[in-house]
Amino acid sequence: MQFYPPEYFDDKKNGYTAIRTVPLASAMGAEILDVDIANVSDEQFAQIKDALFRYKMIYFRGQTNMTIDDQEALTLRFGEFGTDAYTKGMEGHPNVQRVLKEASSVVDWVFGDGWHTDSPFLAQPPSISLLQSLDVPPYGGDTWWSNAQLAYELLSDKMKEVIAPLKVHMSAAWVLSNVNKGKPKLNDLSLGDMNLTVDQQKMIKGNFHPIVRTHPETGQKSLYCDTSYSMGIEGMTQEESKGLLDFLGWWATREDFNCRLRWEKNMLVIWDNRLCLHKAFNDYDGYRREMIRTIVNGEVPA
């Protein structure tokens, strides 16, 4: 089965003259070649952005020259920084979040565990996320992504009709209950080696967003629901919405809609939270993993 015709991946047809792309899986994801993140030309940036919307997640290997400032500068070319709902940011870099698990940490949950789109409980969730690998385990610690645009596209016309008017309640209630588990005080929040600064009430209250989202720049429609933050559907009982959300959450993350990245040091990954879901893995106890993350402020989902 081919989700996209071969020409979808054709750099020449796509007008990519300043970058090369190597698809990671047939559903989504691509490596981008010929780019030094510390020196991205305007022509390259336009093609990188197009490739991001095409592949939903893109990555760059061997970015040994890349600094935190370079990551910040690239993030700002996509739009203004988003405010992270979980952490305060690094000293001197308030818009950069360190995602860290030390070799000595043994935790039930890591940051990003569970299929999700970034912070959808916010009124304006982050549109795009960038993650740079500083230290990676020798194995494990992969990240998975799933193509939410493809998931929407392949629903039946009848299901598309049913879900078109629906709004999903996005709340961090379930995620925070996992983070809080076994913690002495409700406000003593950490995830392994990450201290969290969160407004729990606001995150639990969350927001209602369209379950079918339209990408503001490309017009692509995607399923905006996940298995971490989607708590209910406006106007439905818990039982009714659970049935539908269980199906849609499973469908949106179907294995053949996924790609999975084995990290190397000095990689940069960029994904569009409006077009895909992702999930971190907690399978590398005994090894250190350190990433730095920036987010772009998003629009009110429509």
Which residues would be at the binding site for ligand SIN (CB under 6 A)? 99, 111-112, 129, 143, 278, 280, 291, 293
Q: Which is nearer to ligand SIN, 48 or 99 (CB)?
A: 99
Give the closest residue to 270 by CA, choosing from 87, 109, 47.
47
R_g (Cα) of the chain, nearest Å: 19
Q: Which is nearer to ligand SIN, 101 or 169 (CB)?
A: 101
Q: Which is nearer to ligand SIN, 36 or 142 (CB)?
A: 142
Token duo for residue 253: 């993350």
Q: How far is the CB of 100 from ligand SIN (least distance, A)?
A: 10
φ/ψ (deg, to 5) at 73: -65, -40
Q: Which is nearer to ligand SIN, 47 or 146 (CB)?
A: 146
Gap between the Cα atoms of 274 and 74, Å rounded: 19
Q: Which is nearer to ligand SIN, 143 or 171 (CB)?
A: 143
Q: Which amino acid, one-letter code, is at 200?
A: Q
Q: Which is nearer to ligand SIN, 30 or 99 (CB)?
A: 99
Q: How far is the CB of 280 from ligand SIN (least distance, A)?
A: 3
Q: How far is the CB of 101 from ligand SIN (least distance, A)?
A: 9
With contact defined as beta carbons under 8 Å apart, do 227 and 115 qualify? yes
Q: How far is the CB of 102 from ligand SIN (least distance, A)?
A: 14
Q: Which is nearer to ligand SIN, 168 or 175 (CB)?
A: 175
With contact defined as beta carbons under 8 Å apart, do 118 and 83 qualify? no
Give the closest residue to 182 by CA, choosing from 121, 259, 92, 106.
106
Give every CB contact of residue 302 below 8 A, 6+ residues apart in sequence: 210, 213, 214, 216
How far out from the chain centre does Cα 14 lie? Answer: 24
Nearest residue to ligand SIN, using CB?
Answer: 112
Q: Are strands 212-214 and 194-195 parallel, antiparallel or unpaired?
A: unpaired
Q: How far is the CB of 278 from ligand SIN (least distance, A)?
A: 6
Give every CB contact of residue 32 below 8 A, 6+ residues apart in sequence: 19, 20, 21, 48, 51, 58, 59, 60
